[in-house]
Structure 1
Amino acid sequence: MNFDGIYLAGVGTHLPPSVTTEEAVRTGRYTEEAHEASGLESVAVETSLPAVDMAVRAARTAVSRSGHQAQDFLGLLHSSTYYQGPEGWSPAHYILLNTLDRPISAHHVQHGCLGVLAGLQTAALRLAASSDPDAAMLLTAADNFETPLVDRWRSSSMFVLADAGSSLVVSRRGGFARLLAMDFVSQPGMEAMHRGAEPLLPPQVPVSRVMDFDARLEHWRLKWAEGGAIPLGDFGELIADSVQRTLAAADSSLERVTRIVHNGFNRDPLSVFLLDPLGLSADRGTWELNRRIGHASVSDFALGLEHLWNTGQVRPGDQVLMLGFTTGMEAACALLEITSGPEPVR
């Protein structure tokens, strides 16, 4: 799907201090073998600030950078993958109250690590339908995994979970990047990969089970060893298909793309699942940043984009491809064109 006249007008992030992987090994939280395999140097860990407050901090920065006033915004979309607050409560409205404080709609978007891209597509469609040339939408995202219910260092061999908040202002008026095209494609036959053998009813008592992605995958490995059917699919093909359709919609190509912003996976999974299917090397992506942060779930995309933009690694006219996948399994990407550089620090 291509877009016309939709921009990113502001970006903001909140990153807590990092814990080095060497320190995690020394204190027994991480194994030396996993450390060496991951390629990670450190991981962002927030010990006191709730996820929604990280989102608020990031949103205030994004709105300030955007030049938009509170009255310009048509709505707020917040995304997350993990606990945000009491069950039945609305984190999106908490963030709205502490940022724009206007009687507009606020939604909670839950689409795994693609939450920000799902929010971006929804915001772009909402703005495309508006007749207000100054209309804007606020996207926020945040997760805090500092809880006994999550072992951030061992929950998956594909990544180490990081804490962060992020925000984007999507605008009709203009901005530092123009949205050219987006695409989502899924392989629903693989949804069971992250469900494992866990029951769907009745709800599990949260404290009784620590989140463990590898244990769910191990369920299918054992079934395979026993000769049973498992939910397999060519996920590299899914990634390549999403990219091809997005680039075609924008009449572009991978050769035209300057940089890739992707999920913050460990070194080998990043290559196998995202870069290799497209024939890309790590230096085209944001590995240099991700290896110092870890996998910040829904915030990977804004963190990577802000980093490339602020450090001058992308300039006006450059194209940036935001690419990732989530459970389901589903892949998505968004193609941007940088239209201006960051304001000089005074």
Structure 2
Amino acid sequence: MALQTGTVEPLLGIRAARCWFPEKTRRPQDEVRTGNLTAEQAARHGEVTLHIARGWATESAPAMAVSAGRAALSASGVPTADVGLLAYAWTNYQGNPFFTAGHCVADGLGLPRSAAPVGVQQACNGAAMAFTLAAGQLRLDEHAHALIVAADRFGAPAVDHWRSHVMLAYGDGASAAVVGRPAPGDAFHVLAVEHVAAPELWRTRDDYDGFGPQPLATPPYINAMPTEKFSDEGGRPRLRAISHECITEAVDRALDRAGLAPGDPRITQVLAPRLSDKVRELMIGPVEEKYSDRIVCHYGETGHLGAGDFLANIADAETAGDLAPGDIVLVLGAGGGYSYTCAVLQVPEERAA
């Protein structure tokens, strides 16, 4: 395969990416009218629309994952028999306390027994990490494809859509991408994927004096904010500083791996995680400032999708139809835990024909 001008040989090809969302939607002002939020709480969330899952038979997280996976496979033209890896990422409880969610999704999609279902638990950055797993799998089996899927369903009694984070609203939905060896008809070629971890920041969650035997029952929903214990120990400024260091390093390393300069004019879009303005500044501030004229964030349309942000952003970039052959897109990932990712995607030049 011919190299892209000024870049390296692609690691992967993204055949297609798609999303699936429940039909029901809610906005902060809707919650004020029903008495679920105060006007002050709603104002903190600003203008955002969430998709809200309803029936468990069709809108559990695994069921939504199946719907997104089917949509991506259909758009890609890849038959289920050609899928050698299913990488399933999630953030929140999957609706069953003692099962492997990836196997549930693989069964729903009708994947063959030769397709390995793998769960990726890296909080909101899991789907980004799955691209690296897929690249490794495809080195072993050059004829196979990988299906990367992410899905989360939030809501009482665990993670409240509106209250678990005072600056962030959580929306339900699923997203998926089919990847394989690079080919001319791909939606994108993946030129680089770089991850940087800050494992010491797991202590943002260390607020209940260690570990326990079961999921926390009180308060009535999980508080996703950095804990008081972490904040009292001076953790918030450190979280911001380390996050800024890590996302900057991830972007620098990815651009270097792709053979690109930061100011390359072909970088037309930088896709930010679906986070509110304040949380984005905390997690990716320097990169957003540097590429302020190219940042794209769909938070207002869906809220934060948990593990689904990364794939949903790729799906929206593919289906928007405003990218030209040769255009380069940076896709950013960030998640509690903590880990940070930058993927460099390029629209194949061959698509011009």
Quote the Cα distance in structure 1 between the aligned partners of 2:141 and 2:345. Answer: 21
Q: 1:253 to 1:158 in 2, by over 3 A?
A: farther
Mapped contact 2:243–2:282 kept (Cα < 8 A): no
Specify the alignment match of 2:294 in structure 1: 284
Quote the Cα distance in structure 2 between the aligned partners of 1:73 and 1:106. Answer: 10
Mapped contact 2:18–2:71 kept (Cα < 8 A): yes
Specify the alignment match of 2:156 in structure 1: 147
Quote the Cα distance in structure 1 between the aligned partners of 2:206 and 2:9. Answer: 35
Mapped contact 2:12–2:190 kept (Cα < 8 A): yes
Q: 1:198 to 1:13 in 2, by over 3 A?
A: farther
AA aligned opposite 2:34 = T
The answer to whether 1:63 aligns with 2:69 is no
AA aligned opposite 1:141 = A
Quote the Cα distance in structure 2 between the aligned partners of 1:282 and 1:159. Answer: 21
In the TM superposition, 1:208-223 aligns within 5 A as 210-214=221-225, 216-223=226-233
In the TM superposition, 1:16-165 aligns within 5 A as 16=22, 17-48=24-55, 49-103=59-113, 104-132=115-143, 135-165=144-174
Specify the alignment match of 2:3 in structure 1: none
Specify the alignment match of 1:244 in structure 2: 252
**Which runs of 5 or more residues in structure 2 are unaligned?**
1-7
Q: 1:268 to 1:307 in 2, by over 3 A?
A: same
Q: 196-205 vs 42-51, which deviates more?
A: 196-205
Deviation for aligned residue 1:43: 1.5
AA aligned opposite 1:312 = G
In the TM superposition, 1:249-328 aligns within 5 A as 249-256=257-264, 257-280=267-290, 284-287=294-297, 289-328=298-337
Quote the Cα distance in structure 2 between the aligned partners of 1:47 and 1:307. Answer: 24
RMSD over aligned Cα atoms: 2.5
Q: 1:324 to 1:162 in 2, by over 3 A?
A: same
Deviation for aligned residue 1:238: 1.3
Structure 2 counterpart of 1:332, from 341, 344, 352: 341
Deviation for aligned residue 1:199: 2.5
Specify the alignment match of 1:181 in structure 2: 192
Deviation for aligned residue 1:229: 11
Quote the Cα distance in structure 1 between the aligned partners of 2:188 and 2:87. Answer: 19
Deviation for aligned residue 1:60: 0.5
Quote the Cα distance in structure 2 between the aligned partners of 1:276 and 1:80. Answer: 27
Quote the Cα distance in structure 2 between the aligned partners of 1:326 and 1:5. Answer: 23
Query: Aligned with 2:345: secondary structure?
Result: strand
Mapped contact 1:44–1:162 kept (Cα < 8 A): yes
Q: 55-64 vs 332-341, which deviates more?
A: 332-341
Between Structure 1 and Structure 2, how many residues are aligned? 334
Q: 54-63 vs 139-148, which deviates more?
A: 139-148
Deviation for aligned residue 1:273: 2.7
Q: 1:100 to 1:253 in 2, by over 3 A?
A: farther
AA aligned opposite 2:150 = A
AA aligned opposite 1:13 = C
- Normalised by the length of structure 2, the TM-score is 0.86
Quote the Cα distance in structure 2 between the aligned partners of 1:278 and 1:265. Answer: 12
Query: Aligned with 2:281: secondary structure?
Result: helix
Q: 1:171 to 1:267 in 2, by over 3 A?
A: same
AA aligned opposite 1:249 = R
Specify the alignment match of 2:243 in structure 1: 235
**Which runs of 5 or more residues in structure 1 are unaligned?**
none
Q: 92-101 vs 136-145, which deviates more?
A: 92-101
Over the matched positions of the two proteins, sequence identity in percent amounts to 25
Specify the alignment match of 2:177 in structure 1: 168
Deviation for aligned residue 1:141: 0.9
Deviation for aligned residue 1:212: 0.5
Quote the Cα distance in structure 2 between the aligned partners of 1:29 and 1:85. Answer: 24
